[in-house]
Amino acid sequence: MAALKAGVASVALMASVGSAMAAGDLIIAMPANNEPASLDGHIDPYQSTWLINSLITDPLVILAPDGTYIPGLATEWSVSEDGMTWSFTLREGITFHDGEPFNAEAVRANLERVLAPETASAQLASDIGQIASIETDGETGLTITYDSPWVTLLDALRRAPMWSPAALEAAAPGDMAAILVGTGPFQFVDWTQNDNITLERWDDYAGATAISEEPGPVGLDSVTIRFVGESAVLGQVLATGEANMVYTLPPLFSDQYVDNPDYTLMSRGQAGTGLQMVMNVSSPPLDDIRVRQALLLAKDSAAANDILYDGLYQASDGPLNNIHPCYWDGAAEMYPYDPDRAAALLDDAGWILGDDGMRVAQGVAGVEDGTPLTVRYSTLHHQEIGEVFQAQMRSVGIDLQIEVVPGPVQLDMVQRRDFELMYERQRSPSPLILDQVWNSAYDEPGGWAWTGYADPELDEILNQLRGVFDDAERCDLAVEAQQIIMENALMLPTLSQPIIVGLDASVEGFTMGAEGNWFFLHNTSISE
Amino acid sequence: MGRYLLSRLLQLVPVLILVSLIVFAVMRLLPGDPALLMLSGAEGGAITPERLNELREQMGMNEPVLTQYFNFIWGAVQGDLGSSIRFQVPVVELILGRFGSTLELAVAGLLVAIAIGMPLGMLAAARQGGWVDTLCMTLSYVGSSMPVYWLGLLLVLLFSFTLRWLPSAGGGSLEALILPAFTLGLLSAGVLARLIRSSMLEVGTEDYMRTARAKGLYPRMVIIRHGLKNAMIPVLTMMGLQFGALLAGTVVTETVFSRPGLGRLIVDAILSKDYPLVQGAILFLAVVYLLVNLAVDIAYAWLDPRIRYGS
């Protein structure tokens, strides 16, 4: 954790600006693109939804800041040797905001709702997996059984919100105030879409989970999450006093807070794939491994980081980024920045330099002679990284074309396999994300395996990931998979985006989660 | 007048049918599959073709396209625009919830445009050919040619970041409305100023103006009582059209200032292929726009008795 502090005189905040902030009212500014579509984490597939849910309802298990699982609404758990049966003991005496008791039946009702087809859960259902049976034993005993090993259940449950079954029963679809009745430190008050979400303290909160330092209700009176669409504005709301906290502060605006004793910046990497670009290997020019390797050798990510982000982004050199627990460091050595080698590979592949310094085909299979070497770089955001690569690759004669595509277009291009380089980011400290992106079983509509690459050996390694308990053993498998992916040059790593959180001096006891996209307000208070 | 009104209202029907057809067709011609979108954007997790099909069934996407269209129209006639795919609440509820904020912004923008554009245009007309005229017209050109986005950020930079007088983001308060209203209004102010100037100059040469002056009325009286009222006729038409431009401008303004509103709602809905929401919201805006222009036409009759309607 980088808490950056030093001393420069600060500008006195004018209380007249915006909404005057009372003590105990925490105002968090977030990028507008973090605003969920729905706020029901049973349905919605976004990290931000689950995060906001975690303020309203505690999950069964909590992923602590140190990366271990600690008790939430479950006090203990165990899994059978074959990885197919999970047993949980639940906390006693917990109630939902509507006074209904929290017990094993309530957990069962929640899990059944997530898995019901009519819920149309976009993500949680596949994370929890196909449960064979759920058995309850009294108020606090719960056993979940699978037909095949499912060792990743805790990672799914840490994000699964628990809502009051009685409230769910009575709520109309989409009526968030009626649905979001949890057991957590804050009660849901209101959501004005494209503007803000407001929560207020629940006075009967037990504070009984392992994340709470003190029993009883939390120290904040209310939380307002404001969604800010303009990044320049997001970079300034702390300074203008319009928010006490900025979640995902744009790195370019961090300067004014870095050496200022009135603010604290926390930076946390997001374990996952980084901002990776996957390659379409099923058609020219990227069906030739030499061209793919040339792309990897012709870009310099570190230079892009310095140029664009003052070096504040993090390195990502392979299918899992460099901060991932299962990162394979051989990836970086395999493709150092080496334009000469890139040029030699391209010559070898039949892409020869034309008069204008750009390459054209000469005797390339399936390509008409004279066709320019054009590679599309299709991304949802961070196109500036592509623009730096574009300049770097031009020096070896590759014409990189940057295009920003909206989500629907991205999925459409992927389905038609009409792309060369396509942005595809997954974020999780689990190596299972490799399975989703690289297992050819998921090369189907709605699947995440986009490259068209199929390798039985790679699939076999990835298939084993779900059944292995031991973290070290899973990382060994993940390393094998990463080696195959990099040897075949199937993706172009770029950089990894850290999450920077800015706080003003009044905020105390704020806790960042183990991942950049998570935080806790259980122990947070605001001083005058 | 009553008959005129009725015939004008009936004329709206084919326009609305055309709008609904276009929106309906465009949404379906655009790439992307809403069911797939709903299941994607996630942090991993594989989607099976079965789940995809289940969801399409739920969304009514497996029905024939014509059936889907007629269902939409039949609902719309009864004031039911269906349910948003993403938010799972009635589209009408979403639209009405947001429209207040957008209307507030558009009206405030129009007021700013009138407050700045009218005096500027009248001053320029009164001082035709002099340096005041040149200055006023230069200002109006600058105003009307500035990109909304850039202007909005400049105002934020000055009034929020540097002077700290006004909030830079959000909605819900009068304070938060000032900067967006100016951002939006300055553009229309330039257009209005130029139009008022040319309109006033044209009216100034009319016979009734000469008569009024010959009667010995004060020049100011002549301009306001006789000139302005007549000069307002083309200006009014322009205002009707400008109101449409203002509504369109709210999309960008709402984004820059992070205001909740219909503009942003539509943009988000388009990006997420939320068919019912896009169709409903655009149809709603089309109705608003047509009604505003109808109101403008009716105002003519009041301003200019020479216009005889329905005969």
Mean pLDDT across chain B:
82
Task: Give the mutation candidate from A30, A34, A194 for the B interface (greatest B CB count, under 10 A).
Answer: A194
- In the structure encoding, which two tokens stand for residue A97, read together? 């905001």
Tokens 């690759």 — which residue? A393
Under an 8 A CB cutoff, do B98 and A193 touch?
A: yes
In chain B, residues 197-236 whose CB comes closer than 8 Å to chain A: none
In chain B, residues 31-70 whose CB comes closer than 8 Å to chain A: 31-33, 36-49, 51-52, 54-55, 58
DSSP chain B: -HHHHHHHHHHHHHHHHHHHHHHHHHHHHSS--HHHHHH-SSSS----HHHHHHHHHHTTTTS-HHHHHHHHHHHHHTT---B-TTT-SBHHHHHHHHHHHHHHHHHHHHHHHHHHHHHHHHHHHHTTTSHHHHHHHHHHHHHHHS-HHHHHHHHIIIIIIIS--S-SS--SSHHHHHHHHHHHHHHHHHHHHHHHHHHHHHHHTSHHHHHHHHTT--HHHIIIIIIIHHHHHHHHHHHHHHHHHHHHHHHHHHHHTT--SHHHHHHHHHHTT-HHHHHHHHHHHHHHHHHHHHHHHHHHHHH-TT-----
Of B190, B188, B180, B70, the C-alpha closest to B124 is: B190
CA of B216 to nearest chain A CA: how many angstroms apart? 54
Contact A7, A488 (CB under 8 A): no
What per-residue confidence (pLDDT) applies to B310? 46
First to last CA, chain A: 26
CA of A370 to nearest chain B CA: how many angstroms apart? 31
Mean pLDDT across chain A:
89
What per-residue confidence (pLDDT) applies to A446? 67
Under an 8 A CB cutoff, do B38 and A122 touch?
A: yes
Task: Give the mutation candidate from B83, B84, B168 for the A interface (greatest A CB count, under 10 A).
Answer: B168
Contacts of A229 in chain B (CB under 8 A): 169, 255-258, 264
Of A132, A135, A137, the C-alpha closest to A149 is: A132
**Residue A46 burial by CB count (10 A; 0-12/13-18/19+): exposed, middle or buried?**
buried
Residue A444: pLDDT above 50?
Answer: yes
Closest residue to A38, CB basis, from B46, B87, B271: B87
Which one has a higher pLDDT value, A78 or A251?
Answer: A78
Find residue A13's DSSP bridge partners. none
Tokens 């990835």 — which residue? A462
Task: Give the mutation candidate from B38, B43, B58, B92 for the A interface (greatest A CB count, under 10 A).
Answer: B43
Q: Report, as an integer, the average pLDDT of B118-145.
A: 85
Task: Give the mutation candidate from A233, A434, A518 for the B interface (greatest B CB count, under 10 A).
Answer: A233
Contacts of B256 in chain A (CB under 8 A): 229-230, 233
Contacts of A153 in chain B (CB under 8 A): none
Report the chain B residue with the minimal C-alpha distance to residue A30: B258
Please write the tens of the pLDDT for every residue from A175-208.
Answer: 899 999 999 999 999 998 888 999 999 999 999 8
Return the beta strands (E) in A184-310 as ranges: 186-192, 196-201, 222-228, 245-247, 263-268, 277-279
Contacts of B87 in chain A (CB under 8 A): 37-38, 174, 193
Contact B265, B250 (CB under 8 A): no
Please write the tens of the pLDDT for every residue from B199-257.
Answer: 888 887 888 888 888 888 787 777 777 777 777 777 777 887 788 888 888 888 888 88
pTM assigned to the model: 0.80
Q: Report, as an integer, the average pLDDT of B255-282.
A: 85
Three-state DSSP class for residue A184: coil
CA–CA dist A368, A360 (Å, integer): 9
Of B272, B285, B286, B290, the C-alpha closest to B27 is: B272
Backbone angles phi, psi at B158, to 5 degrees: -75, -55
At position A351, the amino acid (one-letter code) is W
Contacts of A515 in chain B (CB under 8 A): none
Under an 8 A CB cutoff, do B51 and A446 touch?
A: yes
CA of B64 to nearest chain A CA: how many angstroms apart? 21
Please write the tens of the pLDDT for every residue from A15-70.
Answer: 233 333 456 999 999 998 888 878 999 988 788 899 999 999 999 999 999 888 99
CA of B222 to nearest chain A CA: how many angstroms apart? 46
Residue B190: pLDDT above 60?
Answer: yes
Three-state DSSP class for residue A153: helix
Residue B56: pLDDT above 60?
Answer: yes
CA–CA dist B284, B290 (Å, integer): 10
- In the structure encoding, which two tokens stand for residue A230, read together? 């303009």
Residue B271: pLDDT above 90?
Answer: no
Which helix (H) or strand (E) covers residue A87, if one does? strand A85-90
Q: Report, as an integer, the average pLDDT of A160-165.
A: 97
Contacts of A127 in chain B (CB under 8 A): 45
Please write the tens of the pLDDT for every residue from A467-516.
Answer: 787 889 999 999 999 999 999 999 999 999 999 999 999 999 999 998 88
- In the structure encoding, which two tokens stand for residue B121, read together? 């245009």
B229-256 helix and B262-271 helix, angle to the nearest 10 degrees: 50
What per-residue confidence (pLDDT) applies to A7? 27
Please write the tens of the pLDDT for every residue from A255-306.
Answer: 888 888 999 999 888 899 999 999 999 999 999 999 999 999 999 999 999 9
Which helix (H) or strand (E) covers residue A435, if one does? helix A432-438
CA–CA dist A379, A423 (Å, integer): 5
In chain B, residues 80-99 whose CB comes closer than 8 Å to chain A: 83-84, 86-89, 94, 97-98
Of B291, B284, B296, B292, the C-alpha closest to B19 is: B284
Report the chain B residue with the minimal C-alpha distance to residue A47: B43
Report the chain A residue with the minimal C-alpha distance to residue B91: A174
Under an 8 A CB cutoff, do B48 and A446 touch?
A: yes
Of A36, A51, A49, A84, the C-alpha closest to A469 is: A84
What per-residue confidence (pLDDT) applies to A17? 34
Three-state DSSP class for residue A190: strand
Contact A511, A55 (CB under 8 A): no
Under an 8 A CB cutoff, do B42 and A226 touch?
A: no
Closest residue to A232, CB basis, from B40, B87, B153: B153
Closest residue to A406, CB basis, from B153, B175, B271: B271
Under an 8 A CB cutoff, do A407 and B271 touch?
A: yes
- In the structure encoding, which two tokens stand for residue A408, read together? 């629907």
CA–CA dist A94, A72 (Å, integer): 11
Contacts of B276 in chain A (CB under 8 A): none
Report the chain A residue with the minimal C-alpha distance to residue B261: A194
What per-residue confidence (pLDDT) applies to A95? 96
Please write the tens of the pLDDT for every residue from A101-142.
Answer: 999 999 999 999 999 877 877 678 888 988 999 999 999 999
In chain B, residues 159-178 whose CB comes closer than 8 Å to chain A: 160-161, 164-173, 175-176
CA–CA dist A3, A142 (Å, integer): 41
Residue B308: pLDDT above 70?
Answer: no
Task: Give the mutation candidate from B26, B28, B33, B47 for the A interface (greatest A CB count, under 10 A).
Answer: B47
CA–CA dist A300, A303 (Å, integer): 6
> For the ranges A378-392, A412-426, B37-51, B65-79, which has the lowest average pLDDT?
B37-51
Find residue A137's DSSP bridge partners. A141
What per-residue confidence (pLDDT) applies to A160? 96
Backbone angles phi, psi at A397, to 5 degrees: 90, 10
The number of C-beta contacts closer than 8 angstroms across A and B is 194
Residue B85: pLDDT above 80?
Answer: no
Report the chain A residue with the minimal C-alpha distance to residue B34: A408
Of B304, B284, B294, B274, the C-alpha closest to B103 is: B284
Closest residue to A194, CB basis, from B48, B166, B264: B264
Under an 8 A CB cutoff, do B167 and A17 touch?
A: yes
Find residue A247's DSSP bridge partners. A501
Q: What is the DSSP letter of A497?
A: P
CA of B162 to nearest chain A CA: how many angstroms apart? 9
Cα dihedral B33, B34, B39, B42 sign: positive
Band (A227; pLDDT cuts 50, 70, 90): very high
Residue A11: pLDDT above 70?
Answer: no
What per-residue confidence (pLDDT) applies to A67? 84
Distances in whole angstroms, Cα of residue B95 to Cα of each of A58, A315, A485, B295: 33, 44, 48, 22
Cis peptide leading into A285, omega within 30 of 0? yes
CA–CA dist B9, A443 (Å, integer): 54
Task: Give the mutation candidate from B88, B174, B251, B267 for the A interface (greatest A CB count, under 10 A).
Answer: B88
Please write the tens of the pLDDT for every residue from B146-169.
Answer: 888 888 889 988 888 888 888 887
Closest residue to A230, CB basis, from B40, B165, B256: B256
Residue A328: pLDDT above 70?
Answer: yes
